Amino acid sequence: MPVSALDAELEWNSPMYQLAVAQLDRTAERMRLDANLWTRLRSPQRAYVVSFPFRRDDYQTVGTVFGYRVQHLLTMGPTKGGIRYALDVDLGEVTALAMWMTWKCAIVGLPFGGAKGGVRIDPGSLSRRELQRITRRYVSEIVDVIGPERDIPAPDMGTDEQVMAWIMDTYSQQKGYTVPGVVTGKPPELGGSLGRREATGRGVITCAAEACRVLGMSLEGARVVVQGYGQVGSAAAAIAVQHGARVVAVSDVEGGIYAPQGLDLAAVHRWVRENRFLRGFPGADPVTNQELLLLPCEVLIPAAAGTQITAHNADLLQCRILAEGANGPTTLEADAILGARGVFVIPDILANAGGVTVSYFEWVQDLQEDFWDEEKVNERLTRKITRAFRETLERAKKHKVHMRRGAYAVAVSRVAEATALRGVYP
């Protein structure tokens, strides 16, 4: 076991980092991972913290903003991972998210190590012009550490296609030529991949359908509950309906809506476009985010913030399958409770790997300047995620463990093999 007594003193120590490290430790211990590699995998290989001035629209107020970019592991290829805009972003959260990206890429077999970025702001409080200024300045601060061969950002909570377009433009302006491959999740007009927008949600539902198959159930007719109606949650809900499932509840940061007979998602979509939040949607009952997690359903999809399912509510969940669209939605204690109760948990590093998979496709298309149709993207995505699910299941069955441990075993052993082959420099 590597030096854990010092964890509390590490600059990136945080509850989310502790969760990520505890998940790694369980696997490393079981597979008797080399102690040197184990210690290295518990830490970011590179971590950048930047602070920069940010001018508000009134042109008088200038504040200081903190930004982060963490590259967890450079062994597997360039690093890859999203950029999050949220008020509670810190080095610890970004480090945990970067670590999870390493495992996600390894499970799907992508030639990337994990990375993540973040800016500590509330994107909802910014005008569009402010969002653009803050994005461009953040990119200028990290311009030397990103690039198509180095580290390729993507969207995460609080960032979207437009933010990716500004990142691509800022980087390209600084280089003096257009570099579409510096970022993924761009609009298709700028070299973005068709199918990227829905990719994470599609991966979640591909995994949920596989889990149904394992349990001898059908996704058709199943009740689905989704926490977080953003990029991941809204796509997962729509694709679940395409599979014949009934989406009975969805939520956003303000709360949720519940209709046991099933929500009309086209109407929900229109409502959100006009009113921004779900609150007040006619024809459904209001529920809080905590109540939503406890609704009766076959498939529960957390697709918002981390640590939503804890020792306080894990006993009360009524789902048969928990498909983790969000990163780190379940604490270790909750995980043990769900395991004992027989809830089939599809861990985040597998369930939400569809996003980075199509990001990889986008990067490949940008580098080759050859763009695929949506059918090819979706077909390749489904194939890769299905294979990753089945390899994870096989490993889990072989070691008689749950899916999360199976997923970590697959990911960590792939990274360990690659690291051993590269050797120690010098």
Contacts with 140 (C-beta within 8 Å, 6 or more apart), sequence order: 170, 174
Among 110, 139, 303, 385, binds ligand NAD (CB under 6 A): 303
393 near 84, Cβ under 8 Å? no
85 near 333, Cβ under 8 Å? no
Which residue, 180 or 354, has its beta carbon nearer to ligand NAD? Answer: 354
Of residues 164 through 223, those in contact with ligand NAD by CB under 6 A are 200
Among 68, 229, 271, 360, binds ligand NAD (CB under 6 A): 229
How far apart are CB 324 and ligand NAD at their closest, in Å?
9
CA-based Rg of the chain, rounded to a whole angstrom? 21
Strands 285-287 and 255-258: antiparallel
Residue 231 within binding range of ligand NAD, rule CB under 6 A: yes
User: Which range touches ligand NAD (CB under 6 A), out of 25-33, 56-64, 128-136, 298-306?
Assistant: 298-306
Which residue, 173 or 255, has its beta carbon nearer to ligand NAD? Answer: 255
The yes-or-no answer on residue 116 being catalytic is yes
Among 73, 105, 297, 304, binds ligand NAD (CB under 6 A): 304
Which residue, 227 or 419, has its beta carbon nearer to ligand NAD? Answer: 227
Residue 238 phi/psi, 5-degree rounding, is -65, -40
Which DSSP string do the residues of 170-190 spell out, in sequence order?
A: HHHHHHTS--GGG-SS--GGG
Contacts with 141 (C-beta within 8 Å, 6 or more apart), sequence order: 50, 52, 67
Which residue, 78 or 329, has its beta carbon nearer to ligand NAD? Answer: 329
Residue 17 within binding range of ligand NAD, rule CB under 6 A: no
Q: Which helix (DSSP H) or strand (DSSP E) does residue 162 occupy? A: helix 161-175
341 near 321, Cβ under 8 Å? no
User: Within 10 A of 333 (CB to CB), how many other CB atoms are there?
Assistant: 13
Which residue, 277 or 371, has its beta carbon nearer to ligand NAD? Answer: 277
- Kindly report the CA angle at 21 between 17 and 22, in degrees rounded to 5? 115
Among 227, 330, 331, 419, binds ligand NAD (CB under 6 A): 227
Of residues 310 through 329, those in contact with ligand NAD by CB under 6 A are 325-327
Of residues 123 through 162, those in contact with ligand NAD by CB under 6 A are 155-158
Residue 94 within binding range of ligand NAD, rule CB under 6 A: no
- Around 269, how many Cα atoms within 13 Å sit in the side-chain half-sphere? 9
Residue nearest to ligand NAD (CB): 230
Which residue, 33 or 108, has its beta carbon nearer to ligand NAD? Answer: 108
Residue 252 within binding range of ligand NAD, rule CB under 6 A: yes
How far apart are CB 86 and ligand NAD at their closest, in Å?
8
Residue 272 within binding range of ligand NAD, rule CB under 6 A: no
Please tell me which residue in 116, 186, 376, 397 is annotated as part of the active site: 116
Contacts with 381 (C-beta within 8 Å, 6 or more apart), sequence order: 195, 199, 202, 203, 206, 354, 357, 358, 361
What residue ranges bind ligand NAD (CB under 6 A)?
Answer: 155-158, 200, 227-233, 251-253, 289, 303-305, 325-327, 352, 355
List the catalytic residues: 116
